[in-house]
Structure 1
Amino acid sequence: MVRIAPTVLSHGLHLRPDPIPEIQQTYLGTTDVQFLATLLLAVLVALSLGTASRIQAAARRRYGRQIAEASSVAFLGAVVAAAVYAFSVIWHVTYVLEYTLSSVMIDRWLAAQQLVTVGIMVGAYLAMRFVNRSIDKLAQTRALTKHQSEVAYHVTDVAIVAFAGTVILTLWGIDLTNIFIGAGAITAVVALTARETLTAMLAGFILLFSRPFHVGDWIEVNESTGIVTDVTIFTTKIQTFDDRNVLIPNDEVTSSQLINYSENDQLRVAVDVGIDYDDDPQHARSVIVDAVEDLESIKNAPNPQVITTAFGDSAILLECRVWIADPTMRRKLDAQTDVIEAITAAFEREGIEIPYPQRVHTSRGDALQVDGIGRAGSGVPTVDD
């Protein structure tokens, strides 16, 4: 409730000390003098503006930009206040300023509420800055990932603002029961209309705490395979190996099969090769091991392994297994290329044949002969017929 100070309204002693009424009666009694004084006041204001520019330039050179701007604003504020007061004195309208000041005067309880409110807001701002800086320091030590830092920013800021808002509303005597009931109803409506968004957001928090992958990891989700470039509260961004950017909702990431190829420090790479049925599989296996064990693109431990997997239509199938360190798609492709080239060169030296797909056709005793002569007594005409 606004309360007007009676002393200000009654006499206006705050704005008209003893010399002012005498000056008004002696020197500012006519309109011509008032116009001349107003013109002089305008000239002084213009000179003050030029002085403010020089003060700002000097302060900027000596103290920096921020202090220069602050000093310039303070000086201009004082000039404007003095000019307004001088104008009201010249034209005998100080009562306007008196009424304005009296209308904004408040009681001590309201002033205390306002001061405490400002203090709570400033404290909340400083708390958010402190917490955010602490999160940045943790991120620099790699204790938190980029995704975790972003989520932590939002969670802590919302928590601090909610706490400060609750205290301020309680200070001003606002009943929080109705607010909580309304917030609950709004939350129910939002939950029904934006279920997918809320599900994705909750999944983002699950990814925050479970940490199944980090930015830069090579992962596979359903049919999308690539490098994680960004993780937000709602989506995970993957750059595939054909340079496509795929946005996957976090709820799909948490509810689908996820493969993280970068989780371990090694990855097994398998290369299939076939040999002719006339070749010795045991000899071929030893040739493959000797050919690939010294390649720089694969690890020495575990050692390369070769197993016989199946009888194919045209070949006996072997599988060469090697391991690479620090898995990436480029390292995997390099290892496959080196293994295939090494096996090809070793088979050529050893005379081991990699057969082409082929079929062998043979005839039965009662089958139609391919030389044009049919079965005897079958009634099938022959070439001689």
Structure 2
Amino acid sequence: MRASRTRIVDVDHFCSAVATSLRPDPIRRFQETHFTAFEIQLLATALLVVFVGLGLVAASRMRPLVRRRYGRQLAEISSVLVVGAVVVSSVYAFTLVWWVSGILESTLEMMTVDRMIATYQLVTVAIALTAYLAIRFVNRSIDKLAQTKALTKHQSEVAYHVADIGIVAAAGTVIFTLWGIDLTNIFIGAGAITAVVALTARETLAAMLAGFILLFTRPFTVGDWIRVNETSGIVTDVTLFTTQIQTFDDKHVLVPNDEVTDSQLTNYSKNDQLRIDVEVGVDYDADIEHARSIVTDAVGDLESVKNNPNPQVIAKRFGDSAIVLECRAWIGDPTMRRRLDARTDVIEAIDAAFDREGISIPFPQRVHAARAEALQVDGIGADRGRSSLEDRATGGD
């Protein structure tokens, strides 16, 4: 009882102190001297409106100046402080002009709280502000890493979400503990919800885990030319759940990340070069060594083919009607267009060089010859076969 009475006395003392500070004796005497006539009150109100307008204009003009000199954040803070000061002072002056300062006094009395609760509130605000500043600091650090190409766009987005969730969860745990909220039931409920979600959305969770695997392993980035199973194209976007690929026939395919990690993945852009293979056949009577040198010289002069490594020509196998040579050439910064252009250039160069050197490119041929004896099918041609045998027996007479 004694503690509660002491607390009530403290609160009453605080309220009386606030009321006295709102209208000290000099302001009370000034109010009684000048703000008794209705016309003076109207004029003072008009001046307050002009003051508020000038304050807002000054805040808007001050903001770009401060932003250019000190940065955007400080400009926003200063602008908010100026506007707040103008509004608070105008409201206080308005209550003095119209003799309604008691409204402010009653409002402050209603806002009066216990010291311990006020301390908890201040600590809660401090924790929330610290969490906000930590989130901004982490996000800026992630942006700097993304600018140095240390993180991809996909990695930056995932890092944003993970960092923000982690900081908010830590700050929330501290605040709940501060206010005496038992987190056991919350954790039990969260565990039950997680179990239900895991059973009902297994594929989604698998895709999300695969997204984290792609985040850390980085087998490809946006803009790479990859092949996943039968899908080949350029990676246009990578999210936490799917990988978007634009195929070369202008189709956008969404591949789940778990399918990407579980399938054979080919990245054509990883080594900054790609080998193309072109087969050509030469006649068995041709000089193989000479044909190989001709192909090497013809392909080596092409601009679409790299000189390092140099093109190679090998005898690959014996074909049905030709000896098959394989020309191996490399292109840089591989794309599908460069690959097709280089392949076309190689074929045209080989064809022109063989035509110039008189080397023929064999092709399969089939020779049709009539048999001496015709076949009999269902009695057709029986008379013709019999007459042919009689002619042979009689010597053709």
The interval holding the TM-score normalised by the smaller chain is 0.7 to 0.9
Q: Which residue of 2 aligns with 1:158?
A: 165
Distance 1:327 1:365, change over 3 A: same
CA contact (8 A) 1:288 1:306 kept: no
Deviations 1:223-258 (A, max 9, x none): 221122222212212222233332222111111111
Q: Which residue of 1 aligns with 2:309?
A: 301
Q: Which residue of 2 aligns with 1:311?
A: 319
Uncovered stretches (5+) of structure 1, i.e. residues with no partner? none
Structure 1 letter corresponding to 2:45: A
User: Hey, what's the Cα distance between the residues in 1 that align with 2:374 and 2:60?
Assistant: 110
User: Hey, what's the Cα distance between the residues in 2 that align with 1:50 and 1:377?
Assistant: 120
Q: Does 1:182 align with 2:189?
A: yes
Correspondence 1:70-219 to 2 at 5 A: 70-89=81-100, 94=102, 96-219=103-226
User: Hey, what's the Cα distance between the residues in 1 that align with 2:125 and 2:314?
Assistant: 74
User: Hey, what's the Cα distance between the residues in 1 that align with 2:16 and 2:297?
Assistant: 109
SS at match of 1:291: helix
User: Hey, what's the Cα distance between the residues in 2 that align with 1:236 and 1:377?
Assistant: 73
SS at match of 1:6: helix
Q: Which residue of 2 aligns with 1:47?
A: 50
Q: Does 1:272 align with 2:279?
A: yes
Q: Does 1:332 align with 2:346?
A: no
CA contact (8 A) 1:298 1:335 kept: no
Structure 1 letter corresponding to 2:48: V
User: Which one has a larger percent helix, Structure 1 or Structure 2?
Assistant: 2
Shift of 1:266: 2.8
Distance 1:148 1:348, change over 3 A: same
Structure 2 letter corresponding to 1:202: L
Q: Which residue of 1 aligns with 2:262?
A: 255
- For residue 239 of structure 2, the aligned residue among 228, 232, 235 is 232
Shift of 1:363: 4.4
Correspondence 1:361-372 to 2 at 5 A: 361-364=368-371, 366-368=373-375
TM normalised by structure 2 equals 0.79
Shift of 1:12: 8.3
User: Hey, what's the Cα distance between the residues in 2 that align with 1:75 and 1:23?
Assistant: 21
Query: Percent identity between the aligned chains?
Result: 60
TM normalised by structure 1 equals 0.81
SS at match of 1:337: helix
Structure 1 letter corresponding to 2:342: A
Structure 2 letter corresponding to 1:298: K
Q: Which residue of 1 aligns with 2:329?
A: 322
CA contact (8 A) 1:200 1:251 kept: yes
Distance 1:310 1:184, change over 3 A: farther
Aligned residues: 369
* Greater displacement, 335-344 / 134-143: 134-143
SS at match of 2:367: coil
Structure 1 runs (4+) deviating above 6 angstroms are: 8-12, 19-28, 373-377
Which one scores higher on RCO, CA 8 angstroms, separation ≥ 6? 1
CA contact (8 A) 2:19 2:105 kept: no
Distance 1:10 1:268, change over 3 A: closer
Uncovered stretches (5+) of structure 2, i.e. residues with no partner? 68-74, 392-397
Shift of 1:288: 2.5
CA contact (8 A) 1:52 1:72 kept: yes
Distance 1:265 1:307, change over 3 A: farther
User: Hey, what's the Cα distance between the residues in 2 that align with 1:62 and 1:318?
Assistant: 73
User: Hey, what's the Cα distance between the residues in 2 that align with 1:160 and 1:256?
Assistant: 35
User: Hey, what's the Cα distance between the residues in 2 that align with 1:300 and 1:10?
Assistant: 90
Structure 2 letter corresponding to 1:289: T
Shift of 1:79: 0.2
SS at match of 1:80: helix
CA contact (8 A) 2:52 2:86 kept: no
Shift of 1:207: 0.4
Distance 1:88 1:185, change over 3 A: farther
Shift of 1:192: 2.5
Structure 2 letter corresponding to 1:75: V
